[in-house]
Amino acid sequence: MKVFKSIFFVLAVAICTHASAYSESEREAERLLILLDMESLLEESMSQMLDVQLQQNPALIPYKSVMMQFFKKHMSYESLKGEMIDIYAEAFTAPELKEINAFYDSEVGKKVVRKLPGVMTRVSMLGATRVQDAIHELQAMIKAEAERLQRMQQ
């Protein structure tokens, strides 16, 4: 019976320790989402994604409000928050998240949060421009490969 009580005690302590560590990780993960201003980032991302969809398919323009309603339901901060917290809490320990949070709470970290979306937009535009400028090269490569594949089938 003493062995059983000892095992039970050790298991209880281990479970409680794990649970409290996970809770601390979750708290730090939530703090990170706040420091990253994830709510605004997701809102901007939804808006940009919708704009891209509408540019690529103008026939969807009459449905813009319905699409935004859908995105807000499935991609809003509130709808994703719990799972994002879990992802960060699983990827990083509480001490690691504290260090990450310390960075994002610093002046440089805050600047990264402010500037990075614009930097990433510029980098994306650069990539898109490069591809667009060289689209004829891609088309020629695809045509040559299609001809090669067709010859192989004959």
Dist. CA 93–CA 27, nearest whole Å: 11
For tokens 């499935």, the residue is 74
| pLDDT tens, residue by residue, 100-119 | 999 999 999 999 999 988 89
Helix residue spans in the chain (DSSP H): 2-35, 38-56, 64-75, 77-91, 94-105, 107-133, 135-153
Dist. CA 10–CA 58, nearest whole Å: 63
Task: Quote the DSSP letter at residue 92.
Answer: S
pLDDT in the model for residue 8: 46
pTM of the model: 0.68
pLDDT in the model for residue 2: 56
The overall average pLDDT reported for the chain is 87
Dist. CA 148–CA 112, nearest whole Å: 48
pLDDT in the model for residue 118: 87
Q: Is the pLDDT score of 15 beyond 90?
A: no
State whether residue 37 is helix, strand or coil. coil
For residues 76-83, give the mean pLDDT: 94
pLDDT in the model for residue 1: 54
Dist. CA 134–CA 91, nearest whole Å: 39
Range of the domain at 128: 2-153
Domain count for the chain? 1
